[in-house]
Structure 1
Amino acid sequence: MGPDGKKIKGKSATCPFCAHVHPLAVHQRLAQDRLGQDAFLIVVSPDSTVGRYFRTPSDEEIAAAQKAEEVLRTEEPFSPSLPVVPQEQIPENNGATIRPQLYGASTYGDLMCDRQSLYFVRLCRSIQSVDDDLRTAGIGPEYRAALCGYATATLVRMLKFSTRGAKMRSTPGAGLLDHIFTNEGTVGFSYDFIEAGLSDGPGSWAAMSSSTQSTIKGLLDRCEKGKSVRVQRGSATVLPFKSATMSAVVTDPPYDAMVYYSDSSDFFYAWIKRALIATRPELAFYANLDGLQDKSQEIIVKEHGKAAGEHRTRAHYDRLITEAFSEMKRVVQTDGVVTIVFGHGEPEVWQRLLKSIEQANLVMTASWPANTESGGQQGKANIQTTLTMACRPAPTGRKPGRKGAVENEIKAEIKRRYPDWERWGLAPADMLMAAAGPAMEVVGRYSEVLDATGERVDIHTFLPLARSAVQEAMAVEVDHHPLETFDARTRFALWWVRLYGRQVQAKSELRWQSLASSLDIADVRDLVPDSDKGVRFTYARTFEPRVTAESAVVDVALALAAASDEGIARMGEVLARSGRDADDAYLWAAVKFFADRLPSSDPDAIAFTRVLRTREGIATAADAVVFEAETKSRTQQIDENQLRLL
């Protein structure tokens, strides 16, 4: 209960650390009870001299803003089913995508203040009036729909800068306004948002429409006389083409659960309906009851903010993506190509995608890695490299292959491709993703792959092998010792540091690397613990190995680095417990590798360097520890013998 006796909706009403009411819950309740108020605080304008000019609003401006709130309440609805301000409900639990919901917004109309809503209401009516004028002039419906569609597209671009999530750019020279998305698919929220003015400045109709016209003009100026084309909207699972009539189909499908496309764009759809109700009256009728976009055939996985009965599951995605690939295979000619662009960090997602390609009776015949992504912020969407896969209808007459032979072919193919990847400037981490292409090309040469017992091997089994083949192709050496000659745990650690140093990586990369190393994650989890919403190579000071004569090289190296702060004697104890000495080439090669590969200012790089510089002293201290232990053991043995004689 709140201080006024009302039940607080939304998040837990009390703070987990005390008995006070949770501030966010109060905000939600105030917003839902329509008790919040907007305050017009400051006016900012671009300035050619100082960049930005700030001032307090004038009395006339404040009065005009208040008048807008009154006028909005007198506006007529767009149709019996379309109230003037969008009342379409934000789907339940959608705060991960529509952040204002977390602060009490319940409809898409709540995403704007009254002045913004009035502006877009009038803009929608202006687009409708354009349609009326064109109809009166005898212009046909297709041209009217196209022109109003362009106008509505400009309106949508304006919406990106005109809600409670709009921000002011902090970088000089980067423009005044920043859009409402906090990442590739999440609509943001801020109490102190910036509101575009009714002028020709940033975010205005004049600015956005001018940009649209300039783009169209540039495209038309470059157009040469050629064949006309037809563009139509439809479903990827039911292509409106005859079988075996296309030479190529190109697709960049949704990457599983990365972006919730329709959830993110329902806000725009609510206003599009109002702008185009005259030219597209069918928009007043919806397939679902909430008046938003129909999501029944959307091929994504909804992981966050799932409401009861959410249908966009992994099974839904896998079934429809397989249907889509099958349709693509149906419409291409026998020698046609289906090109699929895909990228993802999770091994499980790649496994499912490749299974869908296989079930669609397509085989990969070529692939190209490309640095096409900027490394976004949509959780798992942080992709640097995507893979373009050329697939063709599976030829008849393929023979089965044997697992061992296929593995050797994959290794040879990746070794052949590696010089190209290196020449193209792909980072080692990107080569790991690129390796999926040649691996699947090899597998596609066979009707099926069988193991030594005659059992069928799943296609995705070869992905970890492909990644490990990249390691072999790189021929990484550690102080002249081939990487593969180290023990498995140390080899994993050296390869990880070779790829990423101290950088934080997605947890999915840990899964990939452990699979490629034929290790369980539990075997290396202590080497790459959680850090900053990802994983990072461990620090020696927090690593707690139990050093014995059976310990992996990396465990001894980290223990030495951790002990370096305590002096040579302490490092000697570690070395003595490990049963190694100053002549153990693998241990000192690993220590040198870590010292060289970690950033120079990294505390462990400093510690490993200290270990290297005192190598002889450590060995001497270790010998002393061993000598002392042996002396103590002999003395104890003598004492025990004396007792037995007595």
Structure 2
Amino acid sequence: MQTFPKRSNYACAACGTVQDVLATVKASGKTGPMAAYAVQGYAPKRDEARKPYNGRFFAPFDEKLARQYDAASAEWEARKDADLRDYWPRSAVPYGFMTGIANGDIREGHGFTHWWTMFNPRQLLVHAQLLKAIVEVGNYDWTVREYVLGAFQQYLRNQCLFSFWNPQRDTPEPMFSNNNYHPKSTVVENCVFPALGRGNWASSVEGILEGRDWAIDPWEAVSAEALRRKDNALAGEISGKSEKVFPGDPVGDVTVFQGSSTDLARIEAGSLDLVITDPPFGGLLHYSELADFFYVWLRLALKGKYPEYFSADYTPKSLEAVANKAREPEDPDGFYQRLLTQCWREAHRILKPGGILAFTFHHSEDEPWVAVLESLFDAGFYLEATYPIRSDETKGEGEFGSKTIEYDIIHVCRKRTEEPKPVSWGRMRREVMADVRQLQAMLENHAKEGLPAADLQVIRRGKALEYFSRHYGKVYVDEGRTISVKDALVGINQLIEDGSTKGEEAPPPHCEPMTRLFLRTFGRKGELPRDQVQKFLRGTTATPDDFVERGWVYEKSKVYYRTPPLTVAQGWVGKHRRRLTSDLDQALVLIGACFDGSGINASDTLKNENFKPHVALKPLLEWLYRNGPDQATRNAASRAVSIYNAWAASQAVKPTQGSLFEEYEL
């Protein structure tokens, strides 16, 4: 017989009432109660005897261990407002995207109302004593104390109520293994100074010492693969995938400033050769809100030394270039793009005429690309080159929700010094494809099993954007009509998919990007379930609403139906033909007029002096003749092709100025 309540619920010991855990926690205004149930240890003799689990073992959390914890709690209560009063944060957790929206409201929903509530009493006792010792013990130089503070902030994320046990890896994991404030159900706590284990003080210090050693004698990793191409015999002496090379150039003096990149007034205009940055992308990471976890502790030691930077209770946020729905609820994306553009403009101002701006980008979604690219190009930059490099981190659907993109893209930008040259979208598309194929072949030559789809997508996008940026504002889908960054990204996605779709005829290559996306989504189908359309469009800038607003589909009972061409044609009756500019709209109007009994003369549209046929109109009519969603549409498209050909043949050849679209002319 089942004697336990359902998931996330508990039964009251007094009356047996089953209640939701979070509802009770919220009503209490405190964090949920926690209780230890096991400890993990290591026995060298068991290891020597080759017992299972390599000498490690689990044991119950017994009365002796409970008394130790209670003693630490009592000591904390006695000292927190005495000798340790200046060494633990008392400020409240502020409302923000990460604390109030992304994971629910961790303050009201989980009781994490103040930063100290993210630690148990024993952890607070340890952290406060460590911080006090770092500041007060001995006669050490202040720079040495700051080094130790670097280890302290690493220790904080390993010893808190957001540190958790990872059963897949059988090890503790620190806070921000995934960058959020998501409460954990398998909280784990480590010893402070053991010789073994992960997340203790010794392991937190290791990275600081290694960083100092590197600054004195830097090294770079040279891959065995790269070495093999230059010296195969030398590469044979390397056992691993790479080897450390010491160039002998120690890190010199540097100056660090804290401030907003929207205002670099302290740097003279045209004075720098190189700007390198890894900026935030959209709402992917809210750095200042995550940094508060460390800042509220570090400021206790640093506010007296650097009052201009550490006097405030929290990190500065007003000029953070992120799309934050908590701080800018009306238009977070617009706010982000405005600040990012100003950052790029300041970089443009301080760079020399031949200077370089370099940044990395690895976001797998389209929306952040639109904002980043528009702001970059509007600030006066173009992409000189893009370099795919193998990433050391995971950036896709990986461990703890991280992203598994194997390649990052390094973007190298220069200041635009002349007006961009006009080019047709179709011509640019073919040039991009030729370059992408060459690049892909080179990369696949060094990947035994081929590149993952996500990596190919990132690399192809980077190469396509090189071309687009050089002609930004002058890439035409038709005479007098330029393509936006959003539509260009949709078109670039089509480049990616053209090589992967088999057994289907791709839409004409010089169609407008949104048209190609629509035709690739529906193919020869007249209807698609809503979830299938949403799945197909995921990862692009487009949504089903883009198709609905254009009048190409309508939704009924969670299904999207293609608008019949006859309905489209009837909707254009009496409207000015100068506004009929979209390639697909033109094709649907002509096909709709060719349905039996339509009462609409297709030739009237073609002969209208205000009508200018799109360069993709004829190929679209021919494609729909072969790939229309039903026989009636295909028959009407066949008639439309004949009428168009007859009209085109009747047009007298007129002397015209050279056109970007001559290759597509009648």
Q: TM-score range by the shorter chain?
A: 0.5 to 0.7
Q: TM-score, normalised by structure 2?
A: 0.62
Work out whether 1:162 is the aligned partner of 2:159: yes
Deviates more, 1:147-156 or 1:231-240: 231-240
2:38 aligns to what?
42
1:354 aligned partner: 373
The residue that corresponds to 2:122 in the other structure is 115
Residues 200-220 of structure 1: CA deviation (Å, up to 9, x unaligned): 143222332245324533553
Counting only pairs closer than 5 Å after superposition, residues 159-308 of structure 1 correspond to structure 2 as 159-171=156-168, 174=169, 176-181=171-176, 183=178, 185-200=179-194, 201-202=196-197, 203-217=199-213, 220-222=216-218, 224-225=248-249, 228-234=252-258, 235-239=260-264, 240-276=266-302, 279-280=305-306, 285-286=311-312, 291-303=313-325, 306=326
Separation in 1 of the partners of 2:354 and 2:304?
A: 46
C-alpha displacement of 1:225: 4.6
Shift of 1:121: 0.4
Q: Structure 2: how far apart are the matches of 1:25 and 1:113? A: 22
Q: 1:320: Cα distance to partner?
A: 1.4
Deviation at 1:75, TM superposition (A): 2.5
Q: Deviations over 1:417-457 (max 9, x none)?
A: 32212331344554444344344433444474175554554
What is aligned with 2:139?
133
TM-score, normalised by the number of residues in structure 1: 0.64
Separation in 2 of the partners of 1:238 and 1:264? 23
Q: 1:448 to 1:65 in 2, by over 3 A?
A: closer
SS in 2 for 1:247: strand
User: Per-residue displacement from partner, 1:244-295 (whole Å, max 9, x unpaired)?
Assistant: 2222211111011001112122111111123445644556621xxxx11111
Whole-angstrom CA distance in 2 between matches of 1:506 and 1:146: 54
Question: Is the 1:243–1:332 Cα contact (8 Å) retained in structure 2?
Answer: yes
The answer to whether the Cα contact below 8 Å between 1:77 and 1:84 also exists between their aligned partners in 2 is no
Partner secondary structure for residue 336 of structure 1: strand
Matching residue of 2:474: 449
SS at match of 1:237: coil
Counterpart check, 1:325 vs 2:344: yes
Aligned counterpart for 1:415 among listed residues 434, 438, 448: 434
**Percent of paired sites with the same residue:** 17
- Alignment partner, residue 538 of structure 2: 508
User: Post-superposition shift, 1:315?
Assistant: 2.5
Q: Counterpart of 1:61 in structure 2: which amino acid?
A: L
SS in 2 for 1:270: helix
1:92 equivalenced with 2:95 (yes/no): yes
The 1:26–1:476 alpha-carbon spacing in structure 2 relative to 1, beyond 3 Å, is: closer
Q: Which amino acid aligns with 1:230?
A: V
Alpha-carbon distance in structure 2 between the residues aligned to 1:314 and 1:544: 28
Alignment partners' CA distance in 2, 1:253 and 1:390: 14
Structure 1 gaps, min length 5: 1-18, 135-143, 496-501, 531-542, 551-585, 591-646
Q: SS where residue 539 of structure 2 aligns? A: helix
Q: Hey, what's the Cα distance between the residues in 2 that align with 1:236 and 1:53?
A: 51
Kept in 1, the 8 Å contact 2:468–2:475? The answer is: no
1:151: Cα distance to partner? Answer: 0.9
CA distance in 2, matches of 1:505, 1:128: 54
Distance in structure 2 (CA, Å) of the matches to 1:456 and 1:490: 21
Check the 8 A contact 1:342/1:386 in 2, yes or no.
yes
Per the TM alignment, residue 236 of structure 1 is displaced from its structure 2 partner at its CA by 1.8
Distance 2:537 2:520 in 1: 19
Structure 1, residues 518-573: CA drift from partner, whole Å, max 9, x if none?
998997999xx99xxxxxxxxxxxx9999x9x9xxxxxxxxxxxxxxxxxxxxxxx
Instruction: Please give the secondary structure, in 1, of the residue aligned with 2:495.
Output: helix
Cα 1:392–1:96 change in 2 (3 A) is same
Residue 458 of structure 1 aligns with which residue? Answer: 484
1:327 match: secondary structure: helix
Give, as a single letter, the amino acid of the residue that structure 2 aligns with 1:181.
F
Matched, 1:75 2:94: no
What is the rounded CA distance, in whole Å, between the counterparts of 1:218 and 1:440 in structure 2? 36
What is the CA-CA distance between 1:349 and the residue it aligns to? 2.6
Runs of at least 5 residues in structure 2 that lack an aligned partner in the other structure: 1-16, 219-245, 445-450, 510-514, 525-531, 567-622, 628-666
Output the amino acid matched with 2:180: T
Change beyond 3 A, Cα 1:98–1:156: farther
Task: Give the Cα separation in 1 of the matches to 2:19 and 2:123.
Answer: 32
CA contact (8 A) 1:164 1:191 kept: no
Rounded to whole Å, the distance in 2 between the matches of 1:399 and 1:518 is 31
Q: CA deviation at 1:361?
A: 0.9
